[in-house]
Amino acid sequence: MASRTEILAELEEIFRDTLQLPTLQLTENTDAAKIPEWDSLNNVYLILAMENHYQIKFLTQDMQNWKNVGEIITSIEKSIS
């Protein structure tokens, strides 16, 4: 199983590609309010990119509760374990 650090690095690449922000740096505390390009439409694209990358499907309940990247990592960990 991938570590949280490894997942964060993978998410950083997904976010950079999806949001077209090649120098974006994520932390577990990063949230949409800190990235103007992370709007509702791009959120859909991010979810699809993450699901495709990890070959998972997020639960709607989990997605509705996400407050930051750390919570996304937790959902990914649950899905790939």
Give me the residue spans of the domains in the chain.
Answer: 4-80
pLDDT band, residue 1 (cuts 50/70/90) = confident
In this predicted model, which residue has the larger pLDDT, 76 or 81?
Answer: 76
Q: Is 73 exposed, middle or buried (0-12, 13-18, 19+ CB in 10 A)?
A: buried
Closest CA to 43 of 29, 28, 58: 58
Q: Report, as an integer, the average pLDDT of 33-46.
A: 96
Determine the Cα–Cα distance for residues 5 and 26; give it in Å rounded to an integer.
11
Structural element, H or E, at residue 73: helix 69-80
Report the chain's mean pLDDT, rounded to a whole number: 96
The CATH number of domain 4-80 is 1.10.1200.10: yes
Q: How far is CA 11 from CA 23, 41, 44, 54, in A?
A: 13, 18, 14, 10
**Those residues with Cβ within 8 angstroms of residue 45's Cβ, 6 or more apart along the chain or in another chain:** 18
Model pTM?
Answer: 0.94
